[in-house]
Amino acid sequence: MAGTGVFADIFDGDAYKYYSDGEWKKSSSGKTVAIINPTTRKTQYKVQACTQEEVNKVMELAKTAQKSWAKTPLWKRAELLHKAAAILKEHKAPIAECLVKEIAKPAKDSVTEVVRSGDLVSYCAEEGVRILGEGKFLVSDSFPGNERTKYCLTSKVPLGVILAIPPFNYPVNLAVSKIAPALIAGNSLVLKPPTQGAVSCLHMVHCFHLAGFPNGLISCVTGKGSEIGDFLTMHPGVNCISFTGGDTGIAISKKAGMIPLQMELGGKDACIVLEDADLDLVASNIIKGGFSYSGQRCTAVKVVLVMESVADALVEKVKAKVAKLTVGAPEDDSDITPVVSESSANFIEGLVKDAKEKGATFCQEYKREGNLIWPLLLDNVRPDMRIAWEEPFGPVLPVIRINSIEEGIHHCNASNFGLQGCVFTKDVNKAILISDAMETGTVQINSAPARGPDHFPFQGLKDSGIGSQGVTNSINMMTKIKTTVINLPTPSYTMG
C-alpha cells in the first residue's frame, strides 16, 4: 500500500515528504499542497510546499554530488540503475495505486506504466554502457593542408545538473525517461513532479533511494509552480532542462539561459484515412489512439481526416466501438475515466459547446458528471471550429471529411503542432509520400501514433517541442563532446 512498508519513510501520516540529500524531509514552509483525486474530487494526498531556499539547497547538493558521480565507473552507474529498475518493478502495486488515485489512470494501465518504466531504466543502463563507452579518433591529414600530426580523441562528458519536469499523464514513465539517461551519463538530477502525479513520483524516487544512489545526486522538490516554478527553471545551477507538458514549455524555453533544452509540448496528431484503407483496422486504431487514457496523451489521435467516400462507413464502425467503451472509475479499470481536473473538464466542454454551436454532428449525446466525460465522436467538423485545431486532452474526437489527400496534408501542416500523425492505406508508395509531406516528428503507417517502444526517437516539430527523446537521443542530449588533441612534432602515418 502507498506510503507504508518500505515507503513508510516518505510519509509523515498527513503529508508526503520531499527528497533532499538522501533523506525524506518536511518543508520549512510548514505548508502543503493538496492533490485532488479526479474521481472523488476530494483531497487524496498532500505534498510539501517547498521553498526557494530548499531549491537552492538541492541545487548546491546536486552540483557537489555530480562531481564524484562523474568519476564513478560507467559499469557501476549501470549496476545501480538496474537495481533501481528491479525495485521499481517489485513495488509496482503501491505506485500504480497512486497513479489510479492521483491521475485516474485505469488500474491495469497504471501497472503497465510502472513496469514499462522499469524496463526503460534497464534499457537505458545497457544502452549507456555501450554508447558512452565509445569515443571517436580523428586524424588531421584528412583535411586539406594538414599532415598527420594531430590525433583527436573525442568522448562524451556529462552536462552537470539536469532539471527534469514530467507531466501529469505519465508522472512515473516520463520522469524515469529523463532520470535514467541523466544518471547513466554522469549527471545529477533535480526532479519537479507535476502536482497531480507527485505522490507516484515520490514513490518512484524512493526506489532509486533504496537502490543506494549517493546522497544529493537525486532530489525531488514538490510545491507550487508560482513559488518555485520559475525559480527552478531559471536557476543558475541548472545545466539542462528536460520538460514534458503543455504551453508552459514555451514560456520556460524563453526564460531559460544558454542551456540545452529537451521539450515535448503536446500535439494535434492527425489520422489521415485513404479510400483503400482497411476500415476495421482504422476504427480499432482510432479507438486505441483517440480514447485510451481518455484521450489524455500527447500522442493521442486528435483529429481524423477521412476521405469523403469512406467517411460514412468509418464513422459507423467507430461509433459501434465507442458504444462498447466502459465509462467509470479507474479502480474498475474502465476504458474512460475522469479527466485530471475540473478545469480540464471545463475546457473540454468549451470545445464541445463551440462545435455544437457551429453545427458539428454529435455521434453520441454529450454527457458529463463531475470530471467524467463520456466518449464523444464529432462528425462533419469544419476548420472554423476550435476542436479542429485545439487539443482537448479528453475523450472527444473530431472527424473532418476531406476530398483529396492534399486537403488532409494541408490541414495537418496548418496546425501549430507537429508531434506525430498517422496514415492508413494499403498503398505503401502513397503512404511514404504522405509521410514525407506531413510536418510532424513521426508518422505511423497503418497504426495510431505512439511514443513507444521507448528506445525509438521521439520528437515534435513546431510548437510540439525541441530536440529528440528516446533512450539513445536522451543520453546523447544530456552529454557534451569533449576532445583532446595530441600534437606530434613530426607526421606519423599508421604502418607508414
User: Which x/- pattern, by CB under 6 A, does the window 409-448 give for ligand G3H?
Assistant: ----------------------------------------
CA distance 123 to 404: 43
Q: At 444, phi and psi to the nearest 5?
A: -100, 130
Residue placing its CB nearer to ligand G3H in the complex, 54 or 454: 454
**Which residues within the stretch 287-346 sit at the binding site for ligand G3H (CB under 6 A)?**
297-299
Using left for φ > 0, alpha for ψ between -120 and 50, and beta otherwise, residue 197 falls in left
Tell me if 156 contacts ligand G3H by CB under 6 A: no
- Give the DSSP per-residue string, 28-92: TT--EEEEE-TTT-SEEEEEE---HHHHHHHHHHHHHHHHHHTTS-HHHHHHHHHHHHHHHHHTH
Q: How far is the CB of 177 from ligand G3H (least distance, A)?
A: 8
**The three cell numbers locating residue 110:** 497504471
Asked whether position 268 contacts ligand G3H by CB under 6 A, the answer is: no
Complex with ligand G3H: residue 169 or 195, whichever CB lies closer: 169
Pick between residue 116 and residue 235 the one whose CB is nearest to ligand G3H.
116
Q: How far is the CB of 450 from ligand G3H (least distance, A)?
A: 4
Cβ partners under 8 Å of residue 421, min gap 6: 269, 270, 271, 272, 412, 438, 440, 442, 443, 444, 449
Q: Which of 102, 264, 390, 391 is catalytic?
A: 264
Report if residue 104 touches ligand G3H, rule: CB under 6 A: no
Choose between 11 and 170: whose C-beta lies nearer to ligand G3H: 170
Closer residue to ligand G3H (CB): 120 or 318 = 120
- Output the residue with the shortest Cβ distance to ligand G3H: 298
- Smallest distance from the beta carbon of 452 to ligand G3H, in angstroms? 5
CA distance 417 to 424: 20
In eight-state DSSP terms, residue 314 is H
Is residue 264 annotated as part of the catalytic site, yes or no? yes
Gyration radius (Cα) of the chain, Å? 24
Interface with ligand G3H (CB under 6 A), residue total 8
Site for ligand G3H in 441-470 (CB under 6 A): 450-452
Candidate residues 169, 195, 440, 459; the one interacting with ligand G3H per rule CB under 6 A: 169
CB 442 → ligand G3H: shortest distance, Å? Answer: 10
CB of 320: closest distance to ligand G3H in angstroms?
24
> What distance in Å separates the CA atoms of residue 188 and residue 175, rounded to the nearest whole number?
14
Q: For residue 128, give every residue at least 6 positions away whose Cβ sits within 8 Å of its Cβ, in sequence order, or none.
A: 74, 77, 78, 81, 181, 184, 185, 475
Please count the helices (runs of H) and the strands (runs of E) in the chain.
14, 26
Write out the catalytic residue numbers.
264
Instruction: Kindly list the residues in this chain that would bind ligand G3H in the complex (CB under 6 A).
Output: 169-170, 297-299, 450-452
